[in-house]
Structures are given as C-alpha cells and as structure tokens.
Amino acid sequence: MGVLEVKNLSLALNGKKILDDLSIDFWEGHVHALVGPNGAGKSTFAATIMGLTGYKNFSGDILFQNKSIKGLSVDERARKGITLAWQEPARFEGLKVKDFIGATVKNKEAEKIKDYLSKAGLDPDRSIARVVDRTLSGGERKKLELASMLAVKPKVALLDEPDSGIDVESLERIFDAVNVLKGNGTTVILITHSVTVLEQAEHAFLMCCGKLIEKGTAEKISRYFKGKCIPCDHKNEPEDVVSEAGE
C-alpha cells in the first residue's frame, strides 16, 4: 500500500524548472532509493515533500496516507510522521546530546537514549553527555540526527545523502539503523547518487533533470546508474546540470 504518493509534481526556482511532472508512489514499510546525478532534483524533491520554506509553490499534489498535505507546514507534516535527515545536519549549539534526543521522546531514560545512540553508530557512553556544538564532526552530527529519527519512529523517513562525510564502518552502522527503521514499519527513502546506498533499497527511482526516468528493483536501476547516464533527449550531460546546492 502506498503511504506517500506524489502526483504530477512540478517546481521552478529562480525561473528554472527543477522538478518536472513527477509521479511517484512509495510503498509502506519498504526501503526506497531516489537516485540520479548531481542536479537531478533529488534534494529539491525532499525539501518539497517536507514543506521547507522556498519549496511550497509547486503544482501537482503530495498525498500522505491518501490525504493531501499540500497546505501543511513543516511542523504539521512532522507531527503526521514525516521526517527529513539533512545532507548537512543543522547544529543545535549548546544543547546536550541527551536533551536533543530526549526532546523527541516520552521515555527520556538515559539507557533508552543510549540505545538509540548505539543503533545510530555512536558510542553511547561517550556521546550522551556531549554538547551539540562545533566539536561534533559532520559524521557525528549525521548519526545524532539518525538517532533522533530512531527515537521518533516516523512513518516516513527521508535520508538525504546518508553516506556524505561518513567512513565505511560508520556507513555500515547507518545501514543497520535503516534496517531498524524498516523493522519499526517506517517507509525509508534514501536520496543518493551512490550505488552502495542504492543497493540497500528494495525499490528505486531514477531521476534526471527533474524528471522520473526509470523505476524498478534496486538491481535494475543500478545497471543504469553504474553507466553514469542513460540515453535521453536532454541536451545536457549530467555534469553540465546545475548542482543541487544551487537549485
């Protein structure tokens, strides 16, 4: 059953069409991957699903559990169970790790918080008393945000470039956490241009220049994606497309 459905979604930023008539159905409780080259529109897609500022003026519709969320704020979407882990996680300067995790859950016991930290690949005893500040590396902040996501147990979890700034061992722990999310019934959407991350998914969607190019099993999409590009009628190669940081 589809938990999140995008219907004919189009969005333009600064006069440039970034998302172009996308229709995608994400199945409940499955791990999906949304892949494509830099500039394909993947991060813009995630920001639009989450309802971030600057990404609300789109055409088409977004359905969550068969109801439109087009007019809902970020907070309202989050309360419904939609979460987004950032490619560059936001810093929460001065807040202790235990308070950062505890703010999202009813059970604020230290051992429970340590369990979430451990599942996200952080040393719980070393991490729980730390302060969320510039002493945390990008990888640690990413894992901290994933720990918070595990605590919330969302219905839909969007993970934007989960391998960014992560070493191989830490990435394996993040993949373990993805499996925990799936085990909790969460629909996981991995947004990536990495074949390694794609291979963690059961089903995948290939984007290029804001369009949906292909869909199918992760194995099927990886055959396209390993070739860097597929034949299409677009005048640009992927490396010529505006990067997603500038979308």
Give the model's pLDDT for residue 233: 57
Provide the CATH topology of domain 2-88+153-246: Rossmann fold (3.40.50)
Tokens representing 240? Answer: 């010529």
Residue 238 pLDDT class (50, 70, 90 cuts): very low
The amino acid at 198: L
Nearest one of 65, 61, 42, 9 to 189, comparing CA atoms: 42
Kindly state the tokens that stand for 135: 């002493």
Q: Averaged over 39-44, what is the pLDDT?
A: 92
Instruction: Return the CA Rg of the chain.
Output: 18
Q: Strands (DSSP E) along 14-81, which ranges?
A: 16-27, 31-35, 59-64, 67-68
Burial class (CB in 10 A: 0-12, 13-18, 19+), 106: exposed
**The predicted structure's pLDDT at residue 164:** 82
Q: How far apart are CA 124 and CA 118, in angstroms?
A: 6
pLDDT score recorded for residue 69: 97
Residue with tokens 């894992």: 143
Q: Is the pLDDT reported for residue 113 higher than 80?
A: yes
Query: Coil, strand or helix: which one is 12?
Result: strand
**Residues 82 and 49 sit within 8 Å (Cβ to Cβ):** yes
pLDDT band at 186 (very low <50, low <70, confident <90, very high): very high
Comparison of pLDDT for 243 and 100, the residue scoring more: 100
Residue 14 CB neighbours (<10 A): 8
Identify the band that residue 142 occupies on the pLDDT scale cut at 50, 70 and 90: confident
Average of per-residue pLDDT across 188-211: 93
Tokens of 158: 């969007």
Instruction: Show me where the domains of the chain are located.
Output: 2-88+153-246
CA distances from 156 to 29, 49, 90 (A): 9, 10, 20
Residues 52, 222: contact at Cβ < 8 Å? Answer: no
Q: Which residues contact 112 (CB under 8 A, 6 or more apart)?
A: 105
User: What's the pLDDT at 60?
Assistant: 97
Quick one: pLDDT at residue 108? 75
Q: What proportion of the chain, given as a percentage, has pLDDT over 90?
A: 51
Dihedral angle, C-alpha 231, 235, 237, 243, nearest 10 °: -130
Write down the pLDDT at residue 227.
67
